[in-house]
């Protein structure tokens, strides 16, 4: 408070008047006490005012002595006493103001760093930083425009709905990196102000927030009244710190996002690895089971043939069983060999030749129809003129896999249709389609069904045997031919698989 | 916030009023003042009338200059400036025409307020409302400096604090209120200090305009010619000027500085060598 130094000045003056010792009184030095007090507590303005008051109050004592005695050492000392308090008050006040300003700047820099490094959104942090800057700079308003593109830049500490004019001073600073200073915004000819002039100038600075990568934003500050050089220098210094802090915050946030994404990816990869591990375990179990079934049959029938003398019909039936199981074993081994080739990244060995599609379809349909009597198999002879060049064994395996799936996933029986025709939606391609009216495949599982070891679970098909390799092999074989596999499916309605292969005229 | 919302043209420059306008105001005021002095020298008309015309022309010229600076010589500045200058000159002449003549000085502030009303550039120079506390501080500052002057002048130079002629004192106060303090506040604090402060910072603007105001007072033939009186005038008028600048910047109005000047001159008029 400046009241106490004022009272002290009044006390000193009263005591000097009462003692009446003239201009040489040692009591005059007591004026320094309230002056320094005011300078230390109120800064340069307080120190200067109290010092000036002290000098003025001492003048009626010092000046008559000068008039009476002329310039002697005593009167000169009295004259110096007039100016000394104001000088001392100003000097101490300026030093105090300077150190306070430095402390405030340092504190603001720390607060800016803290706010931008803290949790929460960047918008909230920027609003906090703008408020810190406003208080430190004793400004009327501080706004922060963060971002190097005006259209996407974020605005902090401005009323909701504030729009940045593309030709504004802030936009100019953002585009050029040059600061804009205005001694009075409302009377500045460079600024098309819509506000009427005011008795007190509205000072303003538009400062670039610069970092190592260039201008990352703009700090816009407005002051009412006086703007000292020290305050302007402080604003420039704080803009520099704020620019670096904003860039650091953006980098930190980007790093956090990257770390989060990385963590999510690692989690997903770990889950996928666990899934694969589980699938491989299941695969081994299924493979063992799939191999043991035909092997058991082979062992049993061969032992029966070796140890017993059977009638010719019964022996022939045993040989038929032996042949069927050997074929099944051969198919499983073939699939495993293909799988090992695919996993090793080796191309599948194909021996392309002209294919009689009708013969292939008829043979497979009859084979499956003989084994699965509860299903109705139907095949449509292909359109005359369709010519296809492919590996017959590969095409046969594709057909068998698709028919096998159609049967497995139609547990209650139903229709299985096979057809071959030119693909109308893929010119130059021939499509071989297998369609069933089984359990179908949920939409979210469709992207996964061509992956290895993947079997779509369904309560009605839980007992179905399989390695989870069939469709991935069909896909690999189709792609090895330069074709592809497509699927349309609706849960409860059935599925339709299309193998699209290049026609004879197309490149093989 | 204008930095964000107002269009900015880095190449735009402030239009400068032509020096011709200032020269015209100075020439007209000088001619009328010269005519008044000539009348006084020739002894034409009632005694002191020519001198009153010269004084009125000088203050009218200062007020017109203030108007010119404040409006930036925008079109239409001439008529109000002529009315204000003529009002000051007429009030000065009227003051010599009878015992109640000085009351005419009080019409000048009213005329200034009437001309300034509704003009945003006048609001910018400080012609507007003011808080009572600001006005009181201005009055107190002027009273303090006036009292200090009385004490120092009486102790140092042996001047007497004396009121022998109340009517003359009241006339002098009316002169100060109507033209003397008014023209100084209007031109030096209102027009010049406001414009300089608006373009820069306080201290250069305050020192420059206070220096110009001191020059105007030192050129005033009414100021005592004694060296110690001139030194005192420089000291006190400098302080009054700086105080008025600080009050104008602090309060945003010319009134506190005007009241400070009035209070100071009210004290000064009681001094007798």
ipTM of this complex: 0.84
Asked if B8's CB is within 8 angstroms of A172's CB, the reply is yes
Residue B1 included in any domain: no
Looking at the fold, whether B187 and B92 belong to one and the same domain comes out as no
Q: Is residue B10 part of a domain?
A: no
B94/B158 same-domain check: no
Tens digit of pLDDT for each residue in A68-119? 787 788 778 878 888 889 999 999 999 999 898 889 888 888 888 888 877 7
Chain A contact present for B243, CB below 8 A: no
B237 vs B228: CA distance, rounded Å: 14
**Could you tell me if B212 and B86 lie in one domain?**
no
Of chain A, the percentage scoring pLDDT greater than 70 comes to 97
Question: How many Cβ pairs within 8 Å bridge chains A and B?
Answer: 131
Q: Who's near B145: CB < 8 A, 6+ residues apart?
A: B236, B239, B240, B243, B260, B263, B264, B267
**Same domain for B97 and B31:** yes
On whether both B176 and B267 belong to a single domain, the answer is yes
Residue of A153, A167, A177, A199 to mutate when probing chain B, most B C-beta within 10 A? A199
Q: Tell whether B214 and B84 lie within a shared domain.
A: no
A409-459 pLDDT tens trace:
887 788 999 999 888 888 888 999 999 998 899 988 888 888 877 777 777
Residues 6+ apart with CB under 8 A from A261: none
A355 beta partners:
A388
Distance, in angstroms, between B39 CA and closest chain A CA? 41
Asked whether residue B259 is domain-assigned, the answer is yes
Say yes or no: B227 contacts chain A, CB-CB below 8 A: no
Decide if pLDDT at A508 tops 50.
Answer: no
In the prediction, which pLDDT does A80 show?
Answer: 84
The verdict on B131 and B117 lying in the same domain is no
Report how many domains make up chain B: 2
Residues of A in contact with B228 (CB under 8 A): 67
CB–CB of B38/B49 below 8 Å?
A: no
In a domain, B6, yes or no: no
User: Does B240 reside within a domain?
Assistant: yes
Query: Strand pairing of A353-355 and A375-380?
Result: unpaired
A191 vs B202: CB contact, 8 Å cut-off?
Answer: no
Contacts of A57 (CB under 8 A, 6+ apart): A9, A13, A31
For A353-372, write each residue's pLDDT tens digit. 888 888 888 888 888 888 88
Asked whether B124 and A197 are in contact (CB, 8 A), the reply is yes
- The more confidently predicted of residues A24 and A243 is A243
CB atoms within 10 A of CB B35: 14
The answer to whether residue B156 neighbours chain A at the CB level (below 8 Å) is yes
Q: Which of B121, B143, B175 is the last residue of a domain?
A: B121
Of the candidates A66, A164, A199, the beta carbon closest to that of B4 is on: A164
Whether B8 is covered by a domain: the verdict is no
Mean pLDDT of chain A: 85
| In chain A, % of residues over pLDDT 90 | 19
Residue B249 has what pLDDT?
A: 93
Tell whether B103 is covered by a domain.
yes
Last residue of a domain, one of B73, B99, B121: B121
Position B246 in a domain? yes
Nearest to A170 among B4, B11, B13 (CB): B4
Q: State mean pLDDT over A42-67.
A: 88
Spell out which residues of chain B touch residue A168, defining contact as CB-CB under 8 Å: 3-8
Q: What is the pLDDT of residue B63?
A: 92
Please indicate if any CB of chain B lies within 8 Å of the CB of A382. no
Q: Are residues B201 and B145 in the same domain?
A: yes
Per the confidence metrics, is the pTM higher than 0.80? no
Specify whether B76 is located in the same domain as B52. yes
**A window 181-200, beta carbon within 8 A of B:** 182-187, 189-200
Contact A207, A179 (CB under 8 A): yes
Please compute, for residue B133, the number of CA atoms within 13 A of its CA located in the half-sphere on the CB side: 2
B1:A222 CB<8 A:
yes
Could you give all domains of chain A from N- to C-terminal order, each with its CATH number?
3-98 (no CATH), 103-256 (3.30.450.40), 353-502 (3.30.565.10)
Inform me whether the C-beta atom of residue A207 falls under 8 Å from chain B C-beta atoms: no
Last residue of a domain, one of B86, B121, B156: B121
Mark whether B130 and B260 lie in a shared domain.
yes
| Same-domain status, B111 and B94 | yes
Instruction: Say what the pLDDT of residue B211 is.
Output: 95
Q: Residues of chain B whose pLDDT is less than 70? A: 17
Among A125-139, A413-427, A455-469, name the one with the lowest average pLDDT: A455-469
Closest of A64, A231, A49, A249 to residue A137, by C-alpha? A231
How confident is residue A505, by pLDDT bands cut at 50, 70 and 90? low
Shortest Cα distance from B49 to chain A (angstroms)? 38
**Residue B17 has what pLDDT?**
67
- Tell me, yes or no, whether B139 and B105 share the same domain: no
Assign A507 a pLDDT band (cuts: 50, 70, 90): very low
Residue A8 has, within 13 A of its CA and on its CB side, a CA count of: 19
For residue B210, the model assigns a pLDDT of 95
Using the Cβ of A20 and the Cβ atoms of chain B, whether some distance falls under 8 Å is answered with no
Q: Which of B7, B197, B200 sits opposite A165 (nearest CB)?
A: B7
pLDDT digits (tens, 9 = 90+) for A142-181: 888 888 777 777 777 677 667 778 888 988 998 888 899 9
Q: What is the span of the domain harbouring residue B257?
A: 126-272
The DSSP symbol for A146 reads E
């Amino acid at each position: 408070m400046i009241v106490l130094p004022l009272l002290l000045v009044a006390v000193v003056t009263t005591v000097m008047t009462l003692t009446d010792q003239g201009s040489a009184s040692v009591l005059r030095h007591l004026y320094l006490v309230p002056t320094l007090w005011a300078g230390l507590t109120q800064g340069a303005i307080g120190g200067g005012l109290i010092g000036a008051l002290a000098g003025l109050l001492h003048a009626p004592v010092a000046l008559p002595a000068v008039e009476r005695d002329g310039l002697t050492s005593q009167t000169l000392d009295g004259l110096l006493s007039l100016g000394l308090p104001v000088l001392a008050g100003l000097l101490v006040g300026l030093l105090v103001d300077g150190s306070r300003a430095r402390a405030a700047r340092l504190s603001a820099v720390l607060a800016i760093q803290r706010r931008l490094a803290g949790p929460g959104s960047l918008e909230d942090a920027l609003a906090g930083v703008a408020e810190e800057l406003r208080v430190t700079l004793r400004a009327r308003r501080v706004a922060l425009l963060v971002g190097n593109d005006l259209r996407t830049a974020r605005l902090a500490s401005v009323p909701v709905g504030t729009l940045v004019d593309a030709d504004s001073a802030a936009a100019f600073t953002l585009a050029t990196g040059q600061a804009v200073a205005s001694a009075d915004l409302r009377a500045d000819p460079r600024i098309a102000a819509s506000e009427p002039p005011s008795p007190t100038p509205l000072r303003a600075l538009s400062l670039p927030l610069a970092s190592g990568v260039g201008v990352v934003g703009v700090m816009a500050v407005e002051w009412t009244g006086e703007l000292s050089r020290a305050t302007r220098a402080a604003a420039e210094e704080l803009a520099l710190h704020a620019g670096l802090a904003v860039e650091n915050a953006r980098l930190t946030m980007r790093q956090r996002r990257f770390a989060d994404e990385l963590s999510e990816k690692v989690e997903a990869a770990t889950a996928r690895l666990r899934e694969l591990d589980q699938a491989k375990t299941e695969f081994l179990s299924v493979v063992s089971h799939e191999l043991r079934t035909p092997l058991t049959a082979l062992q049993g029938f061969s032992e029966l043939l070796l140890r017993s003398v059977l009638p010719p019909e019964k022996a022939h039936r045993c040989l038929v069983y032996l042949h069927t199981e050997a074929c099944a074993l051969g198919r499983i081994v073939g699939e495993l060999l293909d799988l090992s080739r695919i996993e090793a990244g080796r191309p599948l060995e194909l021996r392309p030749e002209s294919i009689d599609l009708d013969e292939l379809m008829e043979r497979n349909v009859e084979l499956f129809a003989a084994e699965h009597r509860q299903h109705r198999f139907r095949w449509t002879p292909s359109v005359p003129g369709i010519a296809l060049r492919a590996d017959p064994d590969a095409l046969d395996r594709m057909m068998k896999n698709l028919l096998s799936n159609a049967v497995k996933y139609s547990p209650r029986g139903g229709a299985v249709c096979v057809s071959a025709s030119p693909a109308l939606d893929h010119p130059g391609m021939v499509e071989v389609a297998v369609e069933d009216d089984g359990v179908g495949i949920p939409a979210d599982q469709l992207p996964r069904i061509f992956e290895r070891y993947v079997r779509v679970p369904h309560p009605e098909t839980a007992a179905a045997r399989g390695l989870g390799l069939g469709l991935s092999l069909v896909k690999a074989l189709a792609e090895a031919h330069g074709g592809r596999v497509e699927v349309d499916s609706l849960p409860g309605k059935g599925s339709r698989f299309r193998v699209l292969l290049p026609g004879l005229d197309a490149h093989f | 916030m204008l930095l964000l919302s107002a269009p900015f043209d880095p190449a735009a420059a402030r239009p400068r009023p032509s020096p011709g306008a200032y020269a015209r105001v100075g020439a007209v005021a000088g001619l009328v003042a010269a005519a008044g002095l000539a009348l006084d020298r020739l002894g034409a008309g009632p005694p002191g009338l020519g001198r009153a015309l010269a004084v009125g022309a000088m203050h009218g010229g200062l007020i017109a200059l203030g108007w010119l600076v404040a409006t930036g010589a925008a079109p239409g500045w001439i008529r109000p400036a002529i009315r204000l200058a003529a009002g000051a000159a007429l009030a000065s002449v009227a003051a010599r025409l009878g015992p109640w003549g000085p009351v005419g000085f009080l019409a000048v502030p009213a005329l200034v307020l009437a001309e300034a009303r509704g003009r945003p550039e006048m609001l910018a120079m400080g012609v507007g409302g003011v808080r009572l506390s600001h006005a009181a501080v201005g009055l107190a500052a002027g009273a303090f400096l006036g009292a200090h002057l009385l004490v120092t002048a009486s102790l140092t130079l042996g001047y007497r604090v004396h009121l022998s002629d109340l009517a003359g004192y009241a006339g002098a106060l009316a002169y100060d209120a109507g033209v003397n303090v008014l023209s100084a506040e209007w031109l030096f604090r209102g027009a010049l200090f406001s414009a300089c402060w608006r373009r820069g910072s306080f201290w250069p603007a305050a020192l420059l305009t206070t220096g110009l105001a001191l020059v105007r007072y030192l050129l005033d033939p009414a100021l005592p010619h004694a060296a110690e009186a001139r030194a005192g005038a420089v000291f006190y008028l400098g302080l009054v000027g700086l105080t008025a600048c600080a009050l104008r910047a602090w309060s945003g109005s010319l009134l506190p500085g005007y009241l400070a000047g009035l209070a100071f001159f009210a004290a000064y008029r009681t001094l007798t060598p």
